[in-house]
Structure 1
Amino acid sequence: MKKSAHPYIYTLILALCTSCSVNKFIPENQYLLDEVKIVSDTKEVKPSLFNSYLRQNPNAKWFNMVKIPMYIYGASGTDSTKRVNRFFRKIGDAPVIYNADVAMKSKEEIEKAVRNMGYIGAKVTIHTEAKKNKLKLFYHIEAGRPYMIRHIAYNIDDLNISDCLQQDSAQSMLFPGMPFDVNVLDAERQRITRLLQNKGYYKFNKDFLVYQADTTRNTYLVDLTLKLLPYQRKKEDPPQKHRQYLVNSVNFIADSEMTPIRKGSFTGFDSLSYKGYNMYYKDKMFLRPKLLVDFNRIRPGEFYSERDVQNTYSALGRLRMLKYSNIRFKEVNVSDSTKLDAYIVMSKGQNKSVSFEIEGTNSAGDLGAAASISFQHRNVFKGSETFTMKVRGAYEAITGLGQDYVNDNYTEYGVESSLNFPEFMFPFLSSDFKRKIKATSEVGLKFTSQVRPEFSRMLASASWSYRWSDRKHIQHRLDLADINYVYMPSKSPDFQEYLDKMTANNSLLRASYENVLIVRMGYNFTYNSAGNTMMRTPTKSSYSLRVNVEEAGNLMYAASKLAHSTPKGDKGFVLANIPFAQYIKGDFDFAKNFMIDPRNSFVFHIGVGVAYPYGNSRALPFEKRYFSGGANSVRGWSVRSLGPGGYKGSSDGQMDFIKQSGDIKLDLNVEYRTHLFWKLNGAAFIDAGNIWTIRSDSEQEDGVFKFNKFYKQIAVAYGLGIRFDLDYLILRFDGGMKAINPMETGKGRYPITRPRFSRDFAFHFAVGYPF
């Protein structure tokens, strides 16, 4: 395609917009709401704070430029009985007709919100500009001068509560000189309520806290008093002192959906007592009593704490055997004091399941299929341990091979199993430590056999890892031991000849197809300010950070050196006559999502990775190397087809998938995301990046990383994408075009000036967002 396609695209959009008129849907003497804008005369009062109070917004624009969904709706006729018209109306957006009454309600809401920020004399006015049948709407905020808090006093008659507040005064949100912000005042009431609920005040709520504000004329200063009201269940009840509640007993009710606890509720239940906790069940206990006690945070004899209740919910939520849990309290009188009996009701979920999956594959044009069957048991040892076993098989027809290969397909079969424990499993650890860290432990075994035309390979692995989270947004993973053994039982004569040639050229890549043992440890840290959003559309600005470090071979190197003072020929140090890998690797990923409005966002991502083989290794194991290109990298290239550096590929293309790997990776991505219509979202993106090697290799010419050269070897691509947001997952289709190609020279280095679809386009299908 020698000529640019942009003029044709613009012409198509213009034709669509002009032909699909929406005028027929605008009633006479009414207006299409074309634009809404909030304007403030005070920089402290930002207009963006009040967008959520707008009850009427104009039609959405694709990429914040053109109202395509409205024009799609306009393509329908006035006859709503026709199926084609109903279809266009379903996927499009009906024109938004200006409603003065709704605008007035929005004005009142904005005015109230500004006053709650401390601008008590604030006013909001409406201004409209009409042209033909379109209207622009403006909300002007005149904030005025804010009221400030001059003095804060507390009227707390209860000495116990007064002492609690004094001990926690450092956490108070109120201080002299702050704005008289109603939102902050309410947040302080909620903070005090949580504090008291965690200290035994079971029946306390924020309505028992009220503010009294005194102002002096024309001073804009407020004297604030926080007052505690006495406890009253009903208005006609006499005032009482707020009471602290102790937990009397804790009762576990297994496999039940019990209604409110009443006398005789446990008729027909068997029972047992374990360390002072009561267990009620029918037939048999499906979970060990010790596990339930360890996962419980509510203790008899201690003050009621809402934090303990929520922590118990969180801990029980990690037990996959439970369908759900419910915690209830019943007030009891013991020795003239008020106490609470806690009832933890648990409903058992399905403990066994079998699933079957089938998938199609497309690797650089080679088609194939894969199928797998999985079995899962969620309560192996009555401790909610989850055992999983999966068997998988795959087949792929490989094209473009020479005549010397007898086998012209790729087959793979494998089996993997894992056992997950809902707690930190390690010798000599106390129950208190396990309860605090909230970790899950997992051991796994895996075996895979791969048969390609060039070689056959077997991979066996065993792992021991932990996962835990500090808060809702932070996750940790520790791979305490991850052992992988790669065995190459056979190689084709042509492939062996190729490897020998690589050895003659002193290539580092030959090590990728030798037997190797990898014994590694690793740690991964992930923070996501919006929780897990990879499989759903974010609704607010957020960012995510991921750091991963791992090392392999150091302990084995030290042990081998003690047993053998010298390495074994070109294999280096060995264990049971098997060479082992030694390297260190680190990865860093950061992504920032800027929400422009509920339908448009801008996302930036940077990913950096560095791996360094040393000691017993001259090259990284093939599975640990970096690749570039593909759905989550530089999308103008297909997967594993970019780099390293300026490497152009071999003349015959032989084994390029092996050579196009490296020790250093850089990814830079920017993406504009917009909601189109229905469940469709769109994206426009620019990607940049590449991979490089640390050591020079004649088989990867111009692939080594150099500080004075690497920035010239950064590849750049641009493109568009379509995403189907199905709530539970996102299907993504991206089409990328090369813009700067470091693998070419001269005019071919800049395909953006002379794009050719057959040469520069790459299509990608994936699940979830790329970053």
Structure 2
Amino acid sequence: MAIASVLLSGCSTTKRLGKDDILYTGLKGVEIKTPDKQKFPSDVRSSLTEAVSVKPNNSLLGSASVRYPFPLGLWVYNNWPNPPQGLKHWIYEKLASEPVLVADVRPEVRVHMLDQILDNNGYFSGTSSYELVQKRNKKKASILYKIEAGRPYMIDSIVLLPDTVLLNHIIDSVARKSKYFQLGSRYSTDSLAALRVDIANAVRNRGYYFFRPDYIQYLADSTINKGNIALKLDIADNLPPMALNRYRTGDITTYIYRNRGGGIPDTTETAKGTLIRYLPSRLRDGLIPSCIAFREGRTFSVRQMNATQTRLARLGIFNNININVIPDTLRKNDNLLNVVIECTYDKPLEASVEANVSSKSNSYLGPGVTLGLTNRNLFGGGELLTVSLTGAYEWQTGSGRHNSVFNSYEVGLNATLAFPRLLAPRFIPRSRRELSWTKISLGADLLNRPHYFKLSQFNAGLSYDWQSSKYISNTFTLFKLTYNKLQHTTPVFDSIMNANPAIALSFQSQYIPQMSYSFVYDRTMRKNTINVQFTLQEAGNVFWSIYELCGKKGEKTLFRTPFSQFVKGYAQVVYGRRLGGNHWLVSRLGSGAAYAYGNSSQVPYSEQFYCGGANSVRAFTVRSIGPGSYRAPADQINGYFDQTGTFTFIANTEYRFPILGPLHGAVFLDAGNVWTLKNEPSRPGGQLRAKTFFKDLALGTGVGLRFDISMLVIRGDLGIGIHAPYDTGKRGYYNMESFKKSLAFHLAIGYPF
């Protein structure tokens, strides 16, 4: 009632302002003029805008320029009495917002900040000013900042250090490789500061541990050539003697403390120094030395310190790791640094309860809960045992004829034992910078699709994860055995299977003994990102070969149940290009195929491809298109099961751009479909054929919103169909039945690719 009365009274937002006070209503803009309309650097523009971005009252999502239309806090502040106590006082304190005044923003001070930013980026002749933008109410004003940038000062000469000692040589070599520190580059103090850091990192990795970025200085002269800068790189006069010394690694001592403290110290000499651990504790011999990158007597490197810290942390068994470096005072002339590493065990057992909302590639969205128990150091070598009980309820997003039918639940019990090393031959190339893992898994899941079937699945596997370089990761599944058991079906589901024998075969109870290899190349550069991945998978070939060698002909079984035999592969490339600022154009191209033979006539349903949904062609719901030009009969609402295939092609491109704060937008174009490699009379038009390939591609466009808070991305995409691969009764390439029926909305978590 109190709030309503305030809203209805036509309240003023400036009633309590002083005579000379002006309410700040936001940043009107930053106008930047350059000579001859030269392009102004986007990073400098961002710095200038950030310096004057002050949030007004009722700011929308933290914006300095956009406000929501109902300034409740100002209304209450200006029109609501504030008694010393009671309900009205409580309401006032909760709702009132003190006005942000132009005087609080201090635009004259911010103009000086703009001038400083211009100077720091080479625009020494630039000038800044501001003006108040007012409308009828002179008690309110936004602020417009105006900048005359002038011409930037460029670097026209560079003088490096004399190449007389090793330290100078290292510094000069880093400076020469710098993309910024070149003739013709615009003067920028930020770039010079970044070069300082690069130089310090390089020399500290070459033994000069006590060298700091502050010990590099620049002498700039703009009088030699007007409008340009002559730069000289030099070493600071206040450089301490220790910074000039090149150190080697001395004694290495590692302490392993118990989580609860105390214990009896046990000292062991290793190839990586002295190891002192407090008993009782469970620690495999050689584990700690394998994580230490230092070598006694070798040149000291900060990179080795970071690598040691990272390797110990990735074991997951310590809650605190400290590495201290101490000059050896007993052997001063040797320039040695003694290393002391202190590690404290984490609690070995951890129980967790995790509630989540999952978003899957098949457009299923729903809540779930996971109960987990973890042992972080099962055998004393950082082995990770995880047991989890999972339950989830899901429903399909996206408009269409299937979106309300397939609500499901799933429960599962899974256990994984992970060893932080490869229990495999040493000829496999691997990176010492990353931990390699050997994983043994065992699990059981129950999937219930109401009105259709109940499927149980049991699986066991052995896999290896390792990185062969900084950008390349590998997963090799040496063995994975999956058993699918169709426990219960409904008459509706049975009718579908009877009408589609090929689909029925893919659903039969069977074993799937698999072996697979996955490769991922992932690299992020300043203006580009690229992700290349492919997976090769085979099933049943080893078992089939053994049976053949033993003379077994015909259908082969495992524990009296047929096993599947097929090969499958999938590859995709995702490329991102920064267009400027936080604007990106991201594209994906992917294709895959699966082929059953020998002991199987059909690829298992779970291993087939599908198209449509939140991460595919977003103008169509999941499994609503394909294979090829096939379309399920109109009276068959469960054509969902028909619309998978053994060959897929997908192409997407998406323009991503910022809107306001964490809110981002996207405009996208998707194309793709699935096909069958074999002719199936029950699904006419589904077989892959070159002459109809492009006609069979579904095409859609659309727009989307993303709420990106770094750790979590919530995504909503509205797809708009342009071309359906099946007969819709409409002529021409644009053959959607109607605009309304061409729409599909998807709510998902994470980016689509």
Instruction: Establish whether TM, by shorter chain, passes 0.5.
Output: yes
**2:462–2:480 Cα contact (<8 Å) kept:** yes
Contact 1:250 1:278 in 2 (8 A): yes
Map of 1:427-576 to 2, 5 A cutoff? 427-428=425-426, 435=432, 438-450=435-447, 454=453, 456-468=455-467, 470-471=469-470, 474=471, 476-488=473-485, 499-503=497-501, 507=502, 510-513=505-508, 515-527=510-522, 529=524, 543=529, 545-553=531-539, 556=542, 559=545, 563=549, 568=554
Q: Distance in 1 between matches of 2:697 and 2:431?
A: 49
**2:593 matches 1:611:** yes
**In the TM superposition, what whole-angstrom CA distance separates every residue of 1:265-313 from its partner, at most 9, and x where no partner exists?**
9997453333362223333344335111110112222221111111111
Q: In 1, distance between residues paired with 2:12 and 2:158?
A: 61
Is the deviation greater in 372-381 or in 47-56? 47-56
**2:700 aligned counterpart, secondary structure:** strand
Paired position in structure 2 for 1:242: 244
Of 347, 351, 362, 1:350 maps to 347
Q: Against the structure 1 CA distance between its residues 690 and 160, is the aligned structure 2 distance closer, same or farther, given a 3 Å change threshold?
A: closer
| Cα distance in 1 for residues equivalent to 2:192 and 2:588 | 40
1:28 and 1:542, CA in 2 relative to 1: closer, same or farther beyond 3 A? Answer: farther
Aligned to 1:4: none
Q: Is the 8 A contact 1:676 1:682 kept in 2?
A: yes
Deviations 1:584-631 (A, max 9, x none): 312315264858767xx5664435232231554654322222223333
Letter in 2 for 1:586: Y
User: Aligned to 1:69, what secondary structure does the other structure show?
Assistant: coil
CA contact (8 A) 1:418 1:443 kept: yes
Aligned to 2:566: 582
Q: State the alpha-carbon separation in 2 of the partners of residues 387 and 286 from structure 1.
A: 15
Q: Distance in 1 between matches of 2:216 and 2:255?
A: 36
Which of 694, 714, 727 pairs up with 2:698? Answer: 714
Counterpart amino acid of 1:626? F
**Distance in structure 2 (CA, Å) of the matches to 1:156 and 1:254:** 45
Q: Deviation per CA, 1:531-584, whole angstroms, max 9, x where unpaired?
A: xxxxxxxxx97745242222314953883696279972xx59999874433223
Match of 2:654 in 1: 670
Residue from 373, 387, 390 that aligns with 1:389: 387
Q: Assess if the C-alpha contact under 8 Å between 1:423 and 1:439 holds in 2.
A: yes
The whole-number CA distance in structure 1 between the counterparts of 2:576 and 2:714 is: 21
Aligned residue in 2 for 1:9: none
Q: CA deviation at 1:56?
A: 1.7
Q: Answer yes or no: is the 8 Å Cα contact 1:252–1:280 preserved in 2.
A: yes
Q: In the alignment, which residue of structure 2 is the partner of 1:422?
A: 420
> Are the structure 2 counterparts of residues 45 and 524 from structure 1 closer, same or farther at C-alpha, using a change threshold of 3 Å?
same
Q: Which residue of 2 aligns with 1:401?
A: none
Q: In structure 1, what residue type is equivalent to 2:465?
A: Y
The alignment's C-alpha RMSD in Å is 5.0
For 1:20 and 1:742, how far apart are their aligned partners in 2?
Answer: 58
Please name the residue that 1:114 is paired with: 121
Q: How does 1:125-136 map to 2 (within 5 A)?
A: 125-126=128-129, 128=131, 130=133, 132=135
Q: In 2 relative to 1, CA 361–215 (structure 1 residues): closer, same or farther, beyond 3 Å?
A: closer
Write out aligned runs for 1:125-524 (5 A).
Answer: 125-126=128-129, 128=131, 130=133, 132=135, 137-144=144-151, 146-150=153-157, 152-155=159-162, 159-162=165-168, 164=170, 171=177, 174=181, 181-213=188-220, 217-218=224-225, 224-229=231-236, 233=240, 242-255=244-257, 269-275=265-271, 277-337=273-333, 338-356=335-353, 372-392=370-390, 413-428=411-426, 435=432, 438-450=435-447, 454=453, 456-468=455-467, 470-471=469-470, 474=471, 476-488=473-485, 499-503=497-501, 507=502, 510-513=505-508, 515-524=510-519
Unpaired stretches in structure 2, ≥5 consecutive residues:
1-6, 83-87, 397-405
Asked if the contact 1:424/1:434 (under 8 Å) is kept, the reply is no
Residues 453-496 of structure 1, C-alpha deviation per residue, up to 9 Å, x if partnerless? 5465443231312143744xx45131232423334466759556
The offset of 1:428, in angstroms, is: 4.4
- 1:146 CA drift (Å): 3.3
Q: Aligned residue pairs: how many?
A: 704
Distance in 2, Cα, partners of 1:739 & 1:721:
20
The residue that corresponds to 2:107 in the other structure is: 100
2:115 is paired with a residue of what secondary structure? helix
Specify the alignment match of 2:623 in structure 1: 640
Structure 1 runs not aligned, ≥5 long: 1-15, 234-238, 259-264, 399-407, 531-539
Measured in 1, the distance between the counterparts of 2:231 and 2:367 equals 71
Q: Do the aligned partners of residues 767 and 165 (structure 1) sit closer, same or farther apart at CA in structure 2, a change above 3 Å counting?
A: closer
Cross-structure match for 2:400: none
Change in Cα spacing, 1:25 to 1:764, as seen in structure 2 (3 Å) is farther
Instruction: Assess if the C-alpha contact under 8 Å between 1:520 and 1:553 holds in 2.
Output: yes
User: For 2:685 and 2:607, how far apart are their aligned partners in 1?
Assistant: 21
Between 336-345 and 432-441, the greater mean CA deviation after superposition:
432-441
- Residue identity matched to 1:384: G
Structure 1 SS opposite 2:287: helix
| Kept in 1: contact 2:382–2:420 (CA 8 A) | yes
| Contact 2:263–2:279, Cα closer than 8 Å, also in 1 | no
For the residues of structure 1 that align with 2:99 and 2:43, how far apart are their CA atoms? 24
Q: Which residue of 1 aligns with 2:399?
A: none
CA distance in structure 1 between the partners assigned to 2:365 and 2:563 by the alignment: 35
Provide the residue aligned with 1:49 in structure 2: 44
Secondary structure at 1:381 match in 2: coil
Change (3 A) 1:686 1:275: closer
Aligned to 2:636: 653
Structure 1 Cα separation of the partners of residues 393 and 152 of structure 2: 73
Decide which moves more: 644-653 or 106-115: 644-653
Partner of 2:3: none
Task: Tell me how far apart the structure 1 counterparts of residues 666 and 739 of structure 2 sit (CA, whole Å).
Answer: 17
| Contact 1:730-1:768 within 8 A present in 2 as well | yes
Please give the per-residue CA displacement for 1:725-751, whole angstroms capped at 9, x wherever unaligned: 4x6544555666666655562469979
CA distance change for structure 1 residues 205 and 362 in 2, over 3 Å: closer, same or farther? closer
Q: Is this contact kept in 2: 1:411–1:451, CA < 8 A? A: yes
Residue identity in the other structure for 1:161: L
Classify the secondary structure of the residue corresponding to 2:328: strand
Match of 1:699 among 657, 666, 682: 682
Equivalent position SS for 1:137: strand
Q: Name the SS of the counterpart of 2:432 in structure 1.
A: helix
Specify the SS of the correspondent of 2:594. Answer: strand
> Quick one: structure 1 residues 628 and 209, their matched pair in 2 at CA, closer, same or farther if it must change by over 3 Å?
same
